[in-house]
Amino acid sequence: MIQELFNKIIAQLPKRQRDIVSQRFGVSGAKQKTLATLGMKYGITRERVRQIESAAIKNVAQAAREERVLVDAFEKACAYLQTNGGTRRADILPGELEAILKDSSLTPEYIELLFAVFKKPSLFVENRAMHALWYLDAESLKRNKDVVKKFSQLLRGKKEELIERGQFHKIFAQATRQGRMKDHVALNYLSNAKQFAVNPFGDFGLSMWPEIVPKTIRDKSYLILKKGKAPMHFRAIAHAIDTVGFDAKRAHPQTVHNELIKDRRFVLVGRGLYSLREFGIVPGTTREILRHILKKNGPLPLDAVVQLVGQQRVLKHNTIVLNLQNKKYFKRNTQGMYHIA
């Protein structure tokens, strides 16, 4: 196994080299340490630690190139990266290589050592735009960044197509055809970038969109109601937020209720029940809803009024009838039709 082979090679190094290379990579039972920490431990400068590490890696490399298992592992890792466009996220690659090489001992630490010994691929350190990733060469990394930039520009202004109409596959296919790129390579490139994300409902988009990565209680509540497409009690909304698991933050029912009251996107449609204004729900009291319906449709029989109110509010039949009996605002003609007074 790869781990055993490396441990055997490291054990044959001079003591100082053995200790430093083990602690720099976190292998052979040692905990990973920084140059500065090791410098303080041995009473030497960071540069001297780096020099000892470099000498140790050189000695390990000489022995590793004689081990067919290690050479094969390196070549298969590079070949796998090549099939993915020359890059792969650092947190994903170890599990995939473990399956490819059929070696359960292949931890991220030993993968890093393997790549350091053979001097590629290189590690791109995580920043605000990209996850940490391994890349075969500078051209692969540049190509990854270029695809991310172009796709990010393409998605801007296409929120409705992606979230409302579910047209990701159509947009993605157009982009890959234009870039003459294989689908799995393009998807790999996008997964390396932090600009994109998939929400718990499977919608793909820009991570800056609140419908994709909702950060506030209001945005989480909005997404729950939008996907549910039916009125929900504020307690049910809080429970749904926790169940969906947007993040580790727990949604408290009273906090949810307070946020729903403050945001114009939400409309109270019953006792503690909320829906979205964008569904055509009109804000207002029961009397105001009745006036809106009768003004828009003209005189209506009671059954029709009840049916139309039911599209706007969750109310008891008697509540609607009692409001219609207020002669200051509503009247009933000789045909039994209700109209505005």
- The pLDDT tens digits of the residues spanning 193-231 come to 999 999 999 999 999 999 999 999 999 999 999 999 999
Same domain, 158 and 118: no
Last residue of a domain, one of 237, 254, 276: 276
| pLDDT (0 to 100) of residue 166 | 83
Residue 164 has pLDDT above 90, yes or no: no
For residue 105, name the pLDDT band (cuts at 50, 70, 90).
Answer: confident
Same domain, 18 and 56: yes
3-state helix, strand, coil in the chain (%, to 5): 55, 10, 35
For residue 175, name the pLDDT band (cuts at 50, 70, 90).
Answer: confident
The predicted model gives 65-73 an average pLDDT of 95
Residue 66 has pLDDT above 90, yes or no: yes
Residue 178 has pLDDT above 80, yes or no: no
Percentage of the chain exceeding pLDDT 70: 100
Same domain, 235 and 144: no
Same domain, 15 and 117: yes
Give, in degrees to the nearest 5, the angle at Cα 203 between 85 and 177.
40
Same domain, 6 and 120: yes
| pLDDT (0 to 100) of residue 256 | 97
Residue 174 has pLDDT above 90, yes or no: no
Last residue of a domain, one of 200, 228, 248: 200
Same domain, 94 and 149: no
The predicted model gives 282-308 an average pLDDT of 93
Sheet holding 87-89, edge to edge: 87-89, 133-135, 122-124
Nearest partner of 279 among 237, 212, 227, judged by Cα: 227
Residue 299 has pLDDT above 90, yes or no: yes
Same domain, 111 and 171: no
Lookup result for tokens 């590690």: 123
Residue 104 has pLDDT above 90, yes or no: no
| pLDDT (0 to 100) of residue 318 | 93
In a domain, 10, yes or no: yes
Q: Taking the model in full, what pTM does it have? A: 0.79
Last residue of a domain, one of 245, 276, 307: 276
Residue ranges of alpha helices (H) inside 128-273 are: 138-155, 159, 168-178, 183-191, 217-228, 234-244, 253-262
| pLDDT (0 to 100) of residue 186 | 93
Same domain, 45 and 116: yes
CATH number at residue 39: 1.10.10.10
Residue 161 has pLDDT above 80, yes or no: yes
The total number of structural domains in the chain stands at: 4
The b-or-e profile of 103-132 (16+ CB within 10 A means b, else e) is beebbebbbbbbbbbbeebeebeeeeebee
Task: Tell me how far apart the alpha carbons of residues 204 and 166 are, in angstroms, rounded to a whole number.
Answer: 9
Q: Domain span at residue 314?
A: 286-340
34-61 pLDDT, tens digit each: 999 999 999 999 999 999 999 999 999 9
| pLDDT (0 to 100) of residue 306 | 94
122-148 pLDDT, tens digit each: 999 999 999 999 999 999 999 999 999
In a domain, 293, yes or no: yes
Residue 75 has pLDDT above 80, yes or no: yes
In a domain, 208, yes or no: no
Same domain, 77 and 13: yes
Same domain, 18 and 75: yes
In a domain, 133, yes or no: no
In a domain, 212, yes or no: no
Which region among 73-77, 109-113, 174-178, 266-270 has the lowest average model confidence (pLDDT)? Answer: 174-178
| pLDDT (0 to 100) of residue 181 | 84
| pLDDT (0 to 100) of residue 200 | 93
| pLDDT (0 to 100) of residue 106 | 87
Instruction: Residue 321: count other Cβ atoms within 10 Å of its Cβ.
Output: 13
